[in-house]
Amino acid sequence: MASDHFVAAEPDDPQAIETFAKVMAEQLEAADPATRLDIARKLAPCARTPLRLLAKFEAMDPELSDFVLERAVGYSDPELKEAIARGAREATAVARRKPLSPALANLITFHDDVGVVIALARNAFAELERTALIRLLRRARSQAEERGDLRLAEALLERRPIRAEYALLFLSARPDQRVEILLAAQRMQLGRPPGSVLSTPSTTLEELEVAAVARQPERFVATLAEALDCDADLAERIVDDVSGEPLAVALCALGASNEVLVRVLISNDLAAGDSYERIRALARLNNALDRNAATMIVAALRDGAITPPKHQALADGRAPAEPSRTAPPQRMRPSPRLRGEVG
């Protein structure tokens, strides 16, 4: 009853608030866990709940601590920063707050415990600035590639809207997510002058085609790696993706014609049964995809470079080395048909 009255009255007299906090703290000592949690549920949404009472809840047991750190509106950023520094459990509770300020979200992206950043990624109400998002995307790619842990990548790929920066996770994305990544990359490149950081001599494309037709996968992978200026491991992952989407994007970035694309894909025995239908869809993708957008995706796959969101040359803003992944967009304008054709 006392907590109900406090919440309803929202007193602004410091002495009255202090008296309430003192009496309530004494009563909480004698209360059972269920009652404590019930009181916390009532007081957490009240901005007048004093910090000393919130601290009392935090000290009583982990469940109460997690609840108030996640829900209590009386905390300011400095108190929440202190909670983040205390440990992974407290940081996870803060990461689930709705909303979560960009400053706190950015701080959490540096946390060593991957469970903490997964909680942040799953919080749709957390405001992630571009640098914080890219930091999470690179960490997700590293977790996926080095440890086979896709949890962070999957959590990030469920956030909306999907932006061009998600090209860093192209290879980890589902077909529908790849389409969204490609569309975002396409939109980023609208209005940019034609250009590519990948200068590809015609002999290279001929060599790729010859290696594919001759069924020489090692030669094909080595040639592709050289053309994309990436390591053989990334080139092999691009080639081995059964959807054919990463290879189609890579060939588009290299300036391959539709004819070359189709011959390479057919020679690589795309999918059994429906391969020709799939190849036709990928050929349409090649027609629709802007080469600048494809190049941006390859750069993200190769070394984590993401073009800044302004009209600059693609070579600007290169970032630390690290591979990534991507999938299908369209040329100057997003075409609705792509959504149903690829993926």
Q: What is the pLDDT of residues 97-130, one digit of tens each?
A: 999 999 999 999 999 999 999 999 999 999 999 9
Most confident of 216-225, 262-271, 278-287: 216-225
Of 26 and 178, the one with more pLDDT: 178
Report, as an integer, the average pLDDT of 297-324.
56
Query: Within a domain: residue 224?
Result: yes
Query: Within a domain: residue 164?
Result: no
Same domain assignment for residues 331 and 217: yes
Of 7 and 246, the one with more pLDDT: 246
**Count of domains for the chain:** 2
Specify whether the CB–CB gap between 328 and 343 falls below 8 A.
Answer: yes
Calculate what percentage of the chain has a pLDDT beyond 70: 84
Choosing from 116, 135, 168, the residue where a domain stops is 116
- Given a cut of 70, is residue 315 above it in pLDDT? no
Same domain assignment for residues 110 and 207: no
Burial 186-216 (b: 16+ CB within 10 A, else e): bbbbeebeeebbbebeeebbebbbebbeeee
Choosing from 97, 116, 135, the residue where a domain stops is 116
Query: Residue 86: which domain range?
Result: 2-116
- Given a cut of 80, is residue 322 above it in pLDDT? no
Same domain assignment for residues 109 and 231: no
Choosing from 116, 145, 166, the residue where a domain stops is 116
Alpha carbon 210 to chain centroid distance? 37
Q: Indicate the average pLDDT of the chain.
A: 84
- Given a cut of 80, is residue 327 above it in pLDDT? no
Query: Within a domain: residue 131?
Result: no
Confidence at residue 194, expressed as pLDDT on a 0 to 100 scale: 65
Same domain assignment for residues 207 and 337: yes
- Given a cut of 50, is residue 336 above it in pLDDT? no
- Given a cut of 90, is residue 339 above it in pLDDT? no
Same domain assignment for residues 111 and 210: no
Query: Within a domain: residue 147?
Result: no
Same domain assignment for residues 337 and 206: yes
Most confident of 183-192, 196-205, 269-278: 183-192
- Given a cut of 90, is residue 88 above it in pLDDT? yes
Of 143 and 316, the one with more pLDDT: 143
Query: Within a domain: residue 130?
Result: no
Confidence at residue 269, expressed as pLDDT on a 0 to 100 scale: 59
Model confidence at 148, in pLDDT bands (50, 70, 90)? very high
Query: Within a domain: residue 194?
Result: no
Query: Within a domain: residue 108?
Result: yes
Query: Within a domain: residue 9?
Result: yes
Confidence at residue 94, expressed as pLDDT on a 0 to 100 scale: 98
Of 216 and 193, the one with more pLDDT: 216
Confidence at residue 320, expressed as pLDDT on a 0 to 100 scale: 40
